[in-house]
Structure 1
């Protein structure tokens, strides 16, 4: 087999493996990363872009992780005095069909409260995202304590859909 054919076969294997991992899920996660503000922090946050390649709207309704006592979907809101505060978003975030929703610093995000151990650069944080229609998608989120705001890595992550049974 020529190099050209071997290369094409290798690419096909990678594509098929990725499709098998993603299953029928139309939800994809782009550029996830997690941070804690200091080594002694008791809380941290994760950011990513959630994309919906399906034909129906979906909703990220919850999140869970074993790295903290509580893991919630949060956003920042300004109170009557102009002070920004974080609040739990119990209804979750809408992910429109053919669209995306950014979980970004200063906005919507995943919040880890009561960290069981410090986040260290390069760690992988297992997180389960729970969607209204797509179900549960478990991903590993890399810890990046050096990332500056608005600097994405552009790496696509496909979540493996977890089924109960």
Structure 2
């Protein structure tokens, strides 16, 4: 039988990635004492081709801050620009994509899905290749809460 240690490392890495992708909760501020938070569930980032300069991030964003807020932007060091984007099907069967003007309103206690064939974060001008399992820091910009840091794993298989 071969040495099981290398296989154990792979299993541990996959388990860790699964935990990170399951649920990521971020605090508004380390000074916040009221347990108010945004939740980011099932996050992942992918591009369609290895040499692509574009990528899309998907997740479910929940607001448990006690206040209505609006996601107005995002940024990440892995891209020159990150936009809130929407994808909609048009009458001829095609798809239109474009920036979400004015951001995404999020009432307290509600969630918004950023998913394939819908709203998503669009990363323009990738600064390097995305590597399967890579953890990408992303700053979400809110009207009320300000900047909120999240981590989004690269998953090219979804």
TM-score range, shorter chain: 0.7 to 0.9
Tell me by how many angstroms 1:103 deviates: 0.6
Cα 1:41/1:19, change in 2 over 3 Å: closer
2:132 is the counterpart of 1:121: yes
| Unpaired segments ≥5 residues, structure 1 | 1-17, 148-165
2:104 is the counterpart of 1:93: yes
When the two structures are aligned, how many residues end up with a matched partner?
A: 130
2:69 is the counterpart of 1:58: yes
Cα 1:20/1:81, change in 2 over 3 Å: closer
Hey, what's the Cα distance between the residues in 1 that align with 2:63 and 2:92?
36
Tell me by how many angstroms 1:95 deviates: 1.2
**2:153 paired residue number:** 142
Structure number with greater CO (CA < 8 Å, separation at least 6) is 1
Tell me by how many angstroms 1:134 deviates: 1.4
1:104-125 CA-partner distances (Å, limit 9, x unpaired): 1110000001111111101111
User: Which stretch of structure 1 is more off in the superposition, 77-86 or 51-60?
Assistant: 77-86
**2:88 paired residue number:** 77
**2:116 paired residue number:** 105
RMSD over equivalenced CA pairs, Å: 2.1
Question: What is the DSSP-based 3-state SS (H/G/I as helix, E as strand, rest coil) of the residue aligned with 1:94?
Answer: strand
Normalising by structure 2, we get a TM-score of 0.74
Tell me by how many angstroms 1:54 deviates: 2.7
